[in-house]
Amino acid sequence: MNNIAYLLALHSINGLGPVRLKSVLEYFQDPKSAWEAGQRELLQIGIPRNVATLLIETRQKLDPQTNLQSIQKSGISWLTFFDDNYPKLLKEIYDPPVVLYFKGEILSVTRQGGPGDEKAIAVVGSRKMTGYGKLVTEKLTKELAEAGLTIVSGLARGVDSQAHKSALEVKGRTLAVLGGGLNRIFPPENSQLANDIAKGFGAVISEFPPDAPSLPGNFPARNRIISGLSLAVLITEAAEDSGSLITAKLALEQGRDVFAVPGPITSNLSRGPSILIREGARLVTSAQEILDELRIEKIQNSKFPPGARLAKGGKVQRDLKLSETEEKILSTLENENKHIDELCRDLSLPVSLVSAGLVKMEICGLVKNLGGGNYNKIC
């Protein structure tokens, strides 16, 4: 695309969404001509009067070349719909962004000639994540990342943040799609996470101009990019009115698979996945089920908790000497997460004894502290 400065300037105009902007570019053939067009000609090709007026007012105060230089100084790169290395899956949706701003690297193909970030799965869910949601998001995301899938999410609080962090923990790739500009990371506490992603482990992406705020109305548009970049969408935990269900709906409209993790029926955050499952989403309880459904090679996972070795039949054999109390604690955690107070009641043991056993087993990789005094057994 020639005259990229003028394209980025046009892209900054509210009301010139992806569909309308593409029609403008098809008519004028050149972004510079579109930027300099008169109001009458803009109205003739179907641009609403208020948008045409805004364009004319904006070009009185925005210099395209200065705007381009400002974006470059911010360390921001971009891809346009017309570039050969624009994400292939995203290009297939109804309204792909004309411009994608990003920090980091979007891989159209790997150095080995593999699929790069085109082999991706979105992992999304509630901002108010429970201990259960954290557990399943961390477990499934890590296994999917280890299998070579790029993890796509929205950098939001809760499940989204956990998905990005879990991918980074196993040195996997992850793409974070924002609902605002790259110069205004939201939520602000995830600025460091965004930096970590951009430094060699993926990219932070937005279709919004770099200084655009993260407004509520931006997030449905953001969600279509999350699903559009992905082969499938996985919802690990979500309320009935969660934005994650919008992402799932968009994924279905785009012809993507949708997977949902069942949860405790007593939790409001299990209602979203339950609704999706009733409506045809695939119920999954393991990463391998997702890989099988997507026909992706099985996980080759050789990582086991400290103090463990691989026994016959592929099961993890523990080589630890546990006390009778520790064995009882582990047995009690076999099928469900429990709070330390509940463990004390179930086993009729003092909290000091149970706490000491949990600390030892956590160090050895047998149990995991989910926060708030809740623990689970690591399979």
- 220-278 residue pLDDT tens: 999 999 999 999 999 999 998 888 999 999 999 999 999 999 998 889 999 999 999 99
Start-end of H helices in the chain = 4-11, 18-28, 31-36, 39-44, 49-58, 64-73, 88-91, 131-146, 159-169, 191-198, 219-228, 243-253, 271-278, 287-294, 324-332, 340-347, 351-363
Inter-residue contact 259 to 293 (CB < 8 Å): yes
Whole-number Å distance between alpha carbons of 362 and 229: 37
Inter-residue contact 175 to 106 (CB < 8 Å): yes
- Select from 1.10.10.10, 1.10.1050.10, 1.50.10.20, 3.20.20.80 the CATH code of 308-377: 1.10.10.10
* pTM for the model: 0.79
**3-class SS of residue 187:** coil
Distance set, CA 118 to CA 152, 234, 255, 351 (Å) = 11, 16, 15, 50
**3-class SS of residue 21:** helix
Q: What angle do CA 146, 151, 154 make, to 5 degrees?
A: 155
Equal CATH topology for 79-294 and 308-377: no
Question: Is residue 132 packed enough to be buried (19+ CB in 10 Å), middle (13-18) or exposed (0-12)?
Answer: buried
Compute φ and ψ for 105, nearest 5 degrees. Answer: -145, 130
Whole-number Å distance between alpha carbons of 373 and 379: 19
The CATH number assigned to the domain with range 79-294 reads 3.40.50.450
- pLDDT for 379 equals 60
- pLDDT for 310 equals 32
- pLDDT for 320 equals 59
Distance set, CA 309 to CA 79, 139, 299 (Å) = 47, 19, 18
Which tokens belong to 292? 């099988």
Which residues in the chain come in under a pLDDT of 50?
109-112, 299-319
How many Cα neighbours within 13 Å face the side chain of 186? 17
- 110-131 residue pLDDT tens: 444 555 798 999 999 999 999 8
Q: Indicate the domain borders of the chain.
A: 4-70, 79-294, 308-377
Cross-strand pairs, 79: 100
If we measure between CA atoms, which residue out of 174, 173, 197 comes closest to residue 185? Answer: 197
